[in-house]
Structure 1
Amino acid sequence: MSLPDSAEVVVVGGGIIGCSTAYHLAKMGVEVVLLERAKLTSGSTFHAAGLVGQLRSSANITQLLGYSVELYDRLEEETGLATGWKRNGGLRLACNDERWTEVKRQATTAHSFGLEMELLTAKEAQDLWPLMDVSDVVGAAFLPTDGQANPSDITAALAKGARMAGALIVEDCAVQSVDIENGVVTGVVSDKGRIACPKVVACCGQWTRAFAATVGVNVPLVSMEHQYMVTERIEGVTPNLPTLRDPDRLTYWKEEVGGLVMGGYEPNPKPWAVKGIPEGFHFSLLDSDFDHFEQIMELALGRVPAMETAGIKTLTNGPESFTPDGNFILGEAPEQPGFFVGAGFNAFGIASGGGAGMALAEWVAKKEPPFDLWPVDIRRFGRPHFDTDWIRTRTVEAYGKHYTMAWPSEEHDSGRPCRRSPLYATLKARGAVFGEKLGWERPNWYGPDGARDEYTYGRPNWFAHVGAEHAACRDGVVLIDQSSFAKFALKGPDAVAALGWIAANDVSGPPGSLTYTQMLNDHGGIEADLTCARMALDEYYIVTGTGFATRDFDWIAKGIPQGMNAQLVDVTSGWAVLSLMGPKARDILQAATRADVSNDAFPFGTAQTIGIAGAPVRALRVSYVGELGWELHIPTEYAQSVYDALHAAGDVTDAGYRAIETLRLEKGYRAWGSDIGPDHTPLEAGLGWAARKSTDYRGKAAVEAQRATGVTKMLATFTADPKVILLGRETIYRDGVRVGYLSSGGFGHTVGKAIGMGYVRHAEGVTRDWVLGGTYELEVATKRVPCEVTLSPLYDPQNVRVKS
């Protein structure tokens, strides 16, 4: 088959993700060509197990997987090809009290996201799955809309649907290179010729990392061996048997031709192709490793005794791509415009295939995803993820945790420490218990020697310690190492004009002014939430969250209008940050510097360079905890000296990130990635005051239109009995009707209550009076508890400490 001279989009890879992306692009009228080096499904799709589950911890990823189900429902009729798809439902077992709590919280999450999920007794679960022994089962959850598919058949149907819509699919066509000219994708070169194109989509499974690297794009995934067993026919196995997940026994099950498919996620997984994937590896499997699978088999026999006498057809060992955090990877590469990625599906590519292909196609065609996809966005990764050994180390841990308990606030242990503040050793000696984000070690809380996190769905062991840090911030002063903040310098003669277009708030103040702002998309959604300090007429110092370093840099850099002279540089490593917060912060700071830090000389929302212990410190008067305070940005080499000087200046308490969370919830400060994001506008989030009405900026038209028409959702704060544990995703009921779910949850040690934030939704419109006029309940682990609602901060240091 000859290749066309050009196309709008070239998709590389003919597995389920590539075929789904091509299908959806073609349906949108995009001229798309898919190139597959061998045959369709010959990578890892052909040996996938084919379970389709929907529920994830993110509403939008759950929605994505829900779209897969909707697509698979109609695909066979549309294309005339059998897909093996059936909605036979999915069971998830719980065999101890902690797991049962987790399952009940998952059921509440399902209700929050609009999914039907039923809680069953052990006997009711056995009625649906008669072959299993339920003597150790505490309870089960059943999702009736889950199901299973034949991976090769459903991919073939997607490919046919793509062709029917006008896509060209070429097999036995190996892509050799991607042409880049002046930073722009111009074409794809294959062994059958060149296709000129402005956009390339890499859906190459476990080959994606190496392929993307040829154009300087980093895709953090590695190959892992994954095994499952297929049995001969077993008496009692019927075609309508639900899929079964038994996380306490690390196993999953589905029916296949009267027998069973059984696989699992062993705690000691085996990486594959450490030195690279062998040439010509397609439609290929690895040697079955019965010894390694024995641990899974032993656990399975306890659940399904019939396995002891069942005939074994095959033990399939197929390598698949896994990622360091267990989520797949979608989006336009920040390193290379026009190069898109859909890969790293962690053995749930069939469940994700329909939705991921839809989302990626929209991203390619419309230059933005259909909704917020931050949990799977390629820009969630950063500097540690360039090292394949680090990725592999972390991915081994993530694979091994696939079916372990998903504890609240759980941290990874592998690949640590990686990135360290210059104060790491000092803080560790003072009792810091560290967490990790984007490779950075960050103090979560402080405890006695040897203290470490002990995970639970109840009150954790750090609760009282965090409470003490919280109280110290409210009544005295705390010092928090926030060196992991991402920091950028924007400089150039057009810096003010460029940032003025990207930022919603007014950043045109004089040098020394400090502005909290959102950055919006064309729909008014919040793409970034950060602080900008104007350091000079032509220079800004921009500070954002640790985890958003890659994403926010990409958004700002791409947002600089064409022709403007402004350069963005990541300066994160050059600056350590100490946040000095609390009503006594000024006393400590004044004792450590000769600069005048009185309110008149150093008002809120300003930045100055002051001297402390010989260091030129960028002091930003800003607070995320609701108290007087400064972020002290210190050239890295001075960090220890400044830290020592601040402690020497008075009674200062070291505090960590978990205290920040409790403090910000009381003050009602929003967190990007949970409370605010691309699906939320400033008006919906209660941040309309930060969206200027004067000059133009990106997203202004959408914001002003919403000002005129009103909103259909509004972010509110909820409080409940202190015994209630809120974690986020609990369902909100207003006057008995489900109206939303919590975006974040925690505890307020000053107000002495459980606190949650979440959007209250009403299609006919939401006003302040409507929100405050209802009677509210929260569903927590399937139980409803009464709560109070407010649109004001619970804590105000200038006024009343606790608002009822």
Structure 2
Amino acid sequence: MRQHARVVVIGGGAMGVSLLYHLAKRGWSDIVLVEKHELTAGSTWHAAGLCTHFAHNATIMEMRAHSVRLYREILTAETGLPTGFHASGALRITRSPDRMDEFRHVQGLGRFVGHDFHILSPGELKEIYPLCLTEGIIGAIYEPNDGHVDPTLATNAMAAGARSRGAEIVRHNAVLAIERKASGEWLVRTAQGDITAEHVVNAAGTWCREIGAMMGLDLPVVPMLHQYVVTDTVSEIADRIAAGAKELPIIRDPEESWYLRQERDGYIVGPYERAAQPWAVDGVPPQFGMELLPPDLDRVEHIIALAMERVPALANAGIKTVVNGPITFTPDANPLVGPAFGLANAWLLTGSSMGVMEGGGAGSFLADWIVDGAPPRDALAIDPRRFGNYADRDYRLDKAVEGFGLQFGIHYPNEEREAGRPRRTTPALEMQKSQDAVLGAAYGWERPNWFAVDGADAPLTFRRPGWFDAVRGECLAVRGGVGAIDLSAFSKFEVGGAGASAFMASLGANRPPARQGRIGLVHALTLKGGVASEFTVTRLNDDWFYLTSAALAERHDEDLLRSRAAAFADVTIENVTERRGVLGIMGPRARDLLETVSEADLSNSAFPWLSAQIMRVAGIKTAALRVSYAGELGWELHVQLAQFGKLYDAITRAGRRFDLRPFGIYALNAMRLEKGYRAWGADLTTERTPIEAGLGALVKADGRAFVGREALLERIGKGSWTMALLDIDDDGERLPFYAHAVMQAGRPVGIVTSGAHGFRTGKTLALAYLRPGISPEGLTVSILGKELVARELREAAYDPGNLRLRGVHAAEPVAFTPA
């Protein structure tokens, strides 16, 4: 075994071996994989091997599609070894109208990404799957390029491909410890000796928490027991084989929570029970390797019975084998693929409940990220830093059980799942509940999404939601008077020290504010010129800056700030997210309200737009920032979190004379789209530059070095995408949200990144990226199977001159009348 390597991959399952293979394909041959047992030990060897393109996120869809291409074509062509891939196709059936909407949404996303999904009638379903009864079924989605693979054959083929390019694999070599050397390199101590490496990757799957602990990490992963049954011969399948019929497609019933696939002349049936069973939550038994747990069919027989009713041929089969083994779940059931928080050159490739399905593509994704220094596509859905320190043992356990039970759950827009909550709260939470706040969770923080009116309810839907009128009232109240919103979930950082000014000047595409008390917007870029992060930067003095960013970006942005500040002397980074509460006061009467609780001069001349001051509000020391994501006159009030309840109460009491209305994140989202404001993680991602995002005015590239500058300049005009603000016809039923295909002359030319109805303007709006060279003429947006005409707006739909933000527009109270 080599003693020095560029990369050490820990774990020989499908994901770890895929990474090794793809790193070798990128030309990194000085790499080694260590496995404590045999390759595929843990969960790969007993996986059912299902492969699908179906996903609700473009990155995950393409990751799964890469796995299919790899297993179906590439590996055998390169290595001459079989993978056992069966191009059977796959079906998902439903009796739910909401599920049909979900199918149409995934079909639209697939259309843009380049993968065909076909919506079937019950009759068409019967033609493709004659053994299935269609009573009660209203439709299905057919994935013709799906299939299944032999996990062991595929993993061994990837291993052979890696070895042929110089990579080393060492089996029966347990990792004993992981240390950081003074040089910054990693020292991985194994049973067969020590390896010094530049990069270390935790791809340990079932054992990822144990390896994570050696790295100093507490990973939010839980092994869950999943059972499937392999049957004896099914006479109906044997007859089909004898007649030369094509292999039956995989079939899934998401409502009843089972999948069924042909296995030679029999079946594999896999149920996902709602009452899920976690296993080895606090540590995998040391002796565990390629064992299975005893069968426990009592837990799942009711689900198997449902599958028999739908496919009666299954009821005539005997049981050959019951497989009961662990698969790993994260709190959102997506894998952990990317940097380990707080550790340089440490990576995670684990936590996938579908490691074979996602492994081929996940290994390729991470290999590109390691080699290129930036992810190949938007990574937010899989980046390990999407969870914070709130994801403790109870949280990860509650969420894993929930996620397993909802493995086939409908992925509604704006869905809020309840397990594991609450985790992070402000002192104003009980007051907000008394105001009928309907709460959501953002990076563990409880925050109001909207406020119910007269007991209004809002069941989850893909169509116009039940909160529509309530949010309309919130938006019109902000337009006509004043509203208050809890923005405490923002990520918040203080940057100080003698080197802070030089560091901040290098942080992003825009210069930081030059004068004390001024505010600017700075986009940090990736090495490829894409948007890595977005910071609102307030200069408090020459050597002290206050930064806020998206709630979901807390760990991501802390990593970015600390890693880039390391090149500068005397710079301190402090994460103050949990020490600050933020209350937004927005609307043309915001100044009038604040003047009743503060003695500060809030006039335009004394406190202009995009400036900040330290003042007292209701006797509380406050950093007041005159910014407004709602596009109205407004301030953000940043206070010590312990004082936030007192501030919220004081503003609520003082606001009564101004008809102050609390508003939530849904209203804010609608109002920011009326202004054409981009949102990090939705409209701003690593895939597109700020210029492509329409933020060229915030790029100052002359005479100043910053990460991604050269790549940004090189990409200008070379196959550039463009972002458009679209005004979409309103059919009274559908609303845009994300991942809808933008069409032109019958072909997909773009993708919606965010959308909402603009209540102040009466327009249905969406931000969308258009492919290079596309003219914004003759566009439609495909929403749940219907194409709606879309027109590009050349300026913001609301107050394009920013007169209201600048505070030169008088209040115009508007009475709220339900639509």
Give the CA deviation at 1:590: 1.5
Task: Report the secondary structure of 1:133's partner residue.
Answer: coil
Give the CA deviation at 1:235: 2.6
Give the CA deviation at 1:18: 0.9
Aligned counterparts, 1:348-427, within 5 A:
348-385=354-391, 387-427=392-432
Give the CA deviation at 1:712: 3.6
Aligned counterparts, 1:202-221, within 5 A:
202-221=202-221
1:755 to 748, 765, 777: 765
Structure 1 position 742 matched with structure 2 position 759: no
CA displacement, residues 79-114 of structure 1 (integer Å, 9 cap, x when unaligned): 222211122211111212222222122212211222
Residue type matched to 1:700 in 2? R
2:27 to 26, 29, 38: 29
Structure 1 position 685 matched with structure 2 position 693: yes
Task: Report the secondary structure of 1:592's partner residue.
Answer: coil
Q: Is the 8 A contact 2:520 2:537 kept in 1?
A: yes
Give the CA deviation at 1:160: 1.1
Closer/same/farther in 2, CA of residues 189 and 83 from structure 1, 3 Å limit: same
Give the CA deviation at 1:589: 1.2
Q: Is the 8 A contact 1:722 1:747 kept in 2?
A: no
Q: Is the 8 A contact 1:217 1:336 kept in 2?
A: no
Give the CA deviation at 1:630: 0.6
Distance 2:62 2:462 in 1: 26
Closer/same/farther in 2, CA of residues 619 and 170 from structure 1, 3 Å limit: same
**TM-score w.r.t. structure 1 length?**
0.95
Aligned counterparts, 1:544-563, within 5 A:
544-560=549-565, 562-563=567-568
Distance 1:722 1:584 in 2: 34
Give the CA deviation at 1:343: 0.4
Unaligned runs of 5+ in 2: 805-819
Task: Report the secondary structure of 1:502's partner residue.
Answer: coil
Task: Find the counterpart in structure 2 of residue 718 from structure 1.
Answer: 727
CA displacement, residues 596-648 of structure 1 (integer Å, 9 cap, x when unaligned): 01010001111101111211100001111111111100112222232233233
Give the CA deviation at 1:560: 1.8
Residue type matched to 2:581 in 1? A
Task: Report the secondary structure of 1:515's partner residue.
Answer: strand
Task: Report the secondary structure of 1:214's partner residue.
Answer: helix
Q: Is the 8 A contact 1:47 1:318 kept in 2?
A: yes
Task: Report the secondary structure of 1:315's partner residue.
Answer: strand
Closer/same/farther in 2, CA of residues 451 and 383 from structure 1, 3 Å limit: farther
Closer/same/farther in 2, CA of residues 739 and 485 from structure 1, 3 Å limit: same
Distance 1:236 1:597 in 2: 80
Structure 1 position 279 matched with structure 2 position 286: yes
Distance 2:528 2:739 in 1: 25
Aligned counterparts, 1:184-583, within 5 A:
184-237=184-237, 238=241, 240-346=247-353, 348-385=354-391, 387-448=392-453, 453-560=458-565, 562-583=567-588
Aligned counterparts, 1:538-687, within 5 A:
538-560=543-565, 562-650=567-655, 651=658, 652-687=660-695
Closer/same/farther in 2, CA of residues 188 and 709 from structure 1, 3 Å limit: closer
Q: Is the 8 A contact 1:223 1:272 kept in 2?
A: yes
Give the CA deviation at 1:710: 7.5
Task: Find the counterpart in structure 2 of residue 785 from structure 1.
Answer: 788
Distance 1:472 1:536 in 2: 36
Q: Is the 8 A contact 1:494 1:565 kept in 2?
A: yes
Task: Find the counterpart in structure 2 of residue 776 from structure 1.
Answer: 779
Task: Find the counterpart in structure 1 of residue 710 from structure 2.
Answer: 701
Task: Report the secondary structure of 2:300's partner residue.
Answer: helix
Give the CA deviation at 1:255: 1.3
Percentage of matched positions with identical amino acids: 37
Task: Report the secondary structure of 2:66's partner residue.
Answer: helix
Give the CA deviation at 1:205: 0.4
Task: Report the secondary structure of 2:726's partner residue.
Answer: strand
Give the CA deviation at 1:361: 1.6
2:740 to 730, 736, 752: 730
Which stretch of structure 1 is more off in the superposition, 282-291 or 785-794? 785-794
Task: Report the secondary structure of 1:69's partner residue.
Answer: helix
CA displacement, residues 210-256 of structure 1 (integer Å, 9 cap, x when unaligned): 21112212321111011111111213335621111211121112111
Closer/same/farther in 2, CA of residues 397 and 710 from structure 1, 3 Å limit: closer
Count of equivalent residues: 790
Distance 1:336 1:281 in 2: 29
Give the CA deviation at 1:77: 2.8
Which stretch of structure 1 is more off in the superposition, 78-87 or 541-550? 78-87
Give the CA deviation at 1:204: 0.5
Distance 1:715 1:513 in 2: 29
Q: Is the 8 A contact 1:716 1:760 kept in 2?
A: no
Distance 2:665 2:783 in 1: 25
Closer/same/farther in 2, CA of residues 81 and 711 from structure 1, 3 Å limit: closer
Q: Is the 8 A contact 2:329 2:352 kept in 1?
A: yes
Distance 1:800 1:492 in 2: 37
CA displacement, residues 532-557 of structure 1 (integer Å, 9 cap, x when unaligned): 11112111110011111011111111
Which stretch of structure 1 is more off in the superposition, 16-25 or 295-304? 295-304
Q: Is the 8 A contact 1:722 1:754 kept in 2?
A: no
Which stretch of structure 1 is more off in the superposition, 686-695 or 150-159? 686-695
Give the CA deviation at 1:366: 2.9
Closer/same/farther in 2, CA of residues 147 and 791 from structure 1, 3 Å limit: farther
Task: Find the counterpart in structure 2 of residue 144 from structure 1.
Answer: 144
Give the CA deviation at 1:702: 3.0
Q: Is the 8 A contact 1:5 1:194 kept in 2?
A: yes
Residue type matched to 2:380 in 1? W
Residue type matched to 2:257 in 1? L
Give the CA deviation at 1:708: 6.2
Distance 1:4 1:103 in 2: 50
Task: Report the secondary structure of 2:751's partner residue.
Answer: strand
Closer/same/farther in 2, CA of residues 468 and 137 from structure 1, 3 Å limit: same
Task: Find the counterpart in structure 2 of residue 13 from structure 1.
Answer: 11
Task: Find the counterpart in structure 2 of residue 127 from structure 1.
Answer: 127
Which stretch of structure 1 is more off in the superposition, 632-641 or 282-291? 632-641
Task: Report the secondary structure of 2:235's partner residue.
Answer: coil
Distance 1:412 1:523 in 2: 35
Give the CA deviation at 1:463: 1.3
Residue type matched to 2:206 in 1? Q
Which stretch of structure 1 is more off in the superposition, 439-448 or 540-549? 439-448
Q: Is the 8 A contact 2:437 2:448 kept in 1?
A: yes
Residue type matched to 1:33 in 2? V
CA displacement, residues 401-458 of structure 1 (integer Å, 9 cap, x when unaligned): 1112222211011111111011011111111111011111011111158665421222
Distance 1:532 1:315 in 2: 58
Structure 1 position 796 matched with structure 2 position 799: yes
Residue type matched to 1:725 in 2? L
Q: Is the 8 A contact 1:476 1:585 kept in 2?
A: yes
Task: Report the secondary structure of 2:596's partner residue.
Answer: helix
Task: Report the secondary structure of 2:102's partner residue.
Answer: helix
Which stretch of structure 1 is more off in the superposition, 281-290 or 370-379? 370-379
